[in-house]
Amino acid sequence: MMIQWDAETVIKMAAYAGAGLCMGLGAIGAALGEGYTAGQANEAVSRKPELSGEVFKTMLVGQAMAESAAIFALVVAMLLLFVNFPTHSWLFAMSSLSAGLCMGLGAFGSSIGSGFPAGAACQGTTHQPAMGGRLMTTMLIGSAVCQTPAIFAMVVSFILLFSNFSAQPFNPAWAALLGAGLATGFAAIGPGIGGGLVARAACDGVARNPERAGPVTNIMLLGQAVSQTTAIYGVLISFVLIFRNNEATTLIAPSAALLAAGLCMGFGAFGPGLGLGVVAQNAVKWISRSEAGTGDITRLMLVGMAVTESTGIYALVISLLLIFVV
Amino acid sequence: MEQIQVICRRYGRAAAFSALFAAAVCLLFGAAPLARGIVLGALFSIINFILMGRGLPVRVTGDRRRVVLKALSSLFFRYVFMAIPLYLGLTRESINVFAVAGGLFSIQMVILADHAVVGPLFAARKRRI
């Protein structure tokens, strides 16, 4: 019996593959983030068993926050599985697969990142039981900001799922759509994890030196905001790839350039996003310990972040060249 | 584990009230599918949170292999469970799927609002008094 390779069959296949990748990748991140939190909670309870109730409470709330990105992935996966999209364009197969990949990769980093502050808050609860409320607030704000790259990924996934691309020529639009999903998806991983590292350092800092909670939270937010700029580059390239008018061609080179642009921005944002998080993590750590050096440390952090970010900007420039010049 | 029960009850109650309030506003504007979606999503979000809390004591007792198995099966079960309202939203026109998705985050939203908005507000009022 021959398999019928009509547009509807291929679209369904791509949607199922996209749904599987989306939920699978999202679940890996959530499991790692929640597992890290539980591991830290175990360590904290073994140190002070009398505080197990407080630690479990912090762990439960932290895990609930870390699960948010996986719920985004669940929503996109369910849409891919059960919505009958009114299109028979072959391009829709590519946009479905791309949407699934984008959301799965986007949820991966944010879920891992959200687990870090939750774990640190569990540990901090045993160091400073009286500061449990303040610690929980820092953890929740840090965790919520970690979800931003996953929200970017969800927005791009929705655009890929609900836009009508039937007027676009199949070649090279298939590569532009796939590149768009990969750009935001990969670009979200580094900033998601990097933001988590910053929030973990802030929770450690608040537990170590509660009087410094105010400046520590402010620098955490600044560090997280800067570390997420590379995820915005990914979204920018995705938007250019999705909304650009492509001319029909029989050549494979223009398609390769568009796909490469997405990959370049995705990988190019991954490293700086993580690196920016490491810079801010150390700045927050030392600001929590030294009041005198706060100004100098903040300036040094911003200069260090500017230099770290330069490789992300190179990737952005090369991606734009691949889209508009090559 | 009494603290976990207290926190489940506290956030569960707040999420239920918030969802009912949002649903009432939607009904006032004649958006019944939105109202149903929000309530359905919030209901599953609350049950998921309670399952997480109730599952904790079960998950941390027993030997290591059994604990890992319990944790993984709990995660898998809860994802399947959370997919039910989304499936209902996608297959029935009387329930808005995007409202269901929003409702699924009601526990997270209540936790954030409690710590980032309500907590600092009460602390500022206490300082003034």
- B interface test, pick of A28, A78, A80 with most B CB neighbours within 10 Å: A78
Least confident of A133-147, A307-321, B33-47: A133-147
pLDDT at B63: 67
- Residue B124 scores a pLDDT above 80: no
Cβ–Cβ < 8 Å for A81, A161 = no
- The ranges assigned to domains in chain B are 2-128
Please tell me which of the candidates A35, A60, A137 has its beta carbon nearest to residue B4: A60
| pLDDT tens string A190-227 | 999 999 999 999 999 999 888 888 888 888 988 988 89
| DSSP letter string, A37-54 | HHHHHHHHHHH-GGGHHH
Candidates A149, A72, A143, A74; CA nearest to A109 is A149
Candidates A275, A298, A123, A119; CA nearest to A290 is A298
| Residue in chain B lying closest to A30 (CA) | B75
**Angle at which helices A132-146 and A52-66 cross, to 10°:** 20
- What does pLDDT average to over chain A? 90
Least confident of A41-45, A228-232, B62-66: B62-66
Please give the residue that has the higher pLDDT: either B120 or A18.
A18
- Residue A66 Cα distances to A121, A133, B40, B64, B81, angstroms: 13, 18, 22, 23, 18
The H or E element that residue A322 is part of is helix A294-324
Task: Tell me the C-alpha distance between B4 and B54, whole Å.
Answer: 8
- What does pLDDT average to over chain B? 84
- Residue A143 Cα distances to A38, A106, A117, angstroms: 15, 15, 7
Work out the minimum CA distance from B47 to partner chain A, whole angstroms.
12
- Residue A142 Cα distances to A52, A125, A169, A281, A295, angstroms: 23, 16, 43, 12, 22
State the DSSP code for A248. Answer: P
Please tell me which of the candidates A70, A74, A140 has its beta carbon nearest to residue B116: A140
State the DSSP code for B105. Answer: T
| Residue in chain A lying closest to B51 (CA) | A60
Instruction: Give the up-direction half-sphere exposure of residue A161: CA atoms within 13 A in the CB hemisphere.
Output: 26
Banded model confidence at residue B22, pLDDT cuts 50, 70, 90: very high
Banded model confidence at residue B90, pLDDT cuts 50, 70, 90: confident
State the DSSP code for A131. Answer: G
Candidates A30, A36, A119; CA nearest to B75 is A30
Structure tokens at A264: 């370049």
Please tell me which of the candidates A63, A64, A78 has its beta carbon nearest to residue B83: A78
**Interchain proximity A57–B3, CB inside 8 Å:** yes
Please tell me which of the candidates A34, A38, A53 has its beta carbon nearest to residue B1: A53
- A interface test, pick of B48, B73, B76, B112 with most A CB neighbours within 10 Å: B112
- Which CATH architecture fits A11-324? Up-down Bundle (1.20)
- Residue B68 scores a pLDDT above 80: no
| pLDDT tens string A117-167 | 999 999 999 888 887 778 888 888 888 889 999 999 999 999 999 888 888
**Which 3 state secondary structure label does DSSP give A254?**
helix
Task: Tell me the C-alpha distance between B108 and A61, whole Å.
Answer: 8
pLDDT at A88: 72
- State mean pLDDT over B82-109: 91
**Interchain proximity B53–A38, CB inside 8 Å:** no
pLDDT at A84: 80
**Interchain proximity B119–A53, CB inside 8 Å:** no
- Residue A323 scores a pLDDT above 90: yes
pLDDT at B58: 66
Measured between beta carbons, which residues in chain A are less than 8 angstroms from residue B2?
53
Task: Tell me the C-alpha distance between B99 and B80, whole Å.
Answer: 19
| pLDDT tens string A250-287 | 888 999 999 999 999 999 999 999 999 999 999 999 99
Work out the minimum CA distance from B97 to partner chain A, whole angstroms.
9
Residue B29 sits at the chain A interface (C-beta within 8 Å): no
What percent of chain A shows pLDDT beyond 70?
Answer: 99
| DSSP letter string, B24-91 | HHHHHTT-HHHHHHHHHHHHHHHHHHHHHHHHHHHHTSS-HHHHHHHHHHHHHHHHHHHHHHHHHHHH
What percent of chain A shows pLDDT beyond 90?
Answer: 52
- Residue A137 Cα distances to A131, B4, B26, B71, angstroms: 10, 17, 31, 26
Cβ–Cβ < 8 Å for B79, B17 = no
Burial class (CB in 10 A: 0-12, 13-18, 19+), A3: exposed
| pLDDT tens string A73-96 | 999 999 999 888 777 778 889 999
